[in-house]
Amino acid sequence: MLSKQPFNLKNVSAEDIDKELMRFAIIAEFDAISLYEQMASETKNRHLQKVLLDVAKEEKEHVGEFQELLNKIDKEHVKAVAEGGEEVKELTGK
């Protein structure tokens, strides 16, 4: 489905390319997770369902890997995520 590069980095500064690549990678992993989980919910074959859910779990680990890399190269992202977490705590009381 993604046989073509789904993004254009022509207008991205050299210092931001890796950040954008990590964001695209995270998006691709979330798309894959969604696809595999939807497929698993549609099949009646328990073996296929088990494999699809296992692969989806692996994709979630990939999200974590890319997120960790993004955190290392984009300190503004880290700050924004922390601020978002604080907002959720304030809004939910948890």
Six-digit token pair at 79? 């700050």
Six-digit token pair at 2? 């993604």
CA distance 26 to 71: 12
Domain boundaries, the chain: 16-92
Grade residue 3 by pLDDT with cuts at 50, 70 and 90: low
pTM of the model: 0.85
pLDDT, one tens digit per residue, over 20-79 is 999 999 999 999 999 999 999 999 999 999 999 999 999 999 999 999 999 999 999 999
Residue 21 identity: L
At a CB cut-off of 8 Å and minimum separation 6, what does 87 contact? Answer: none
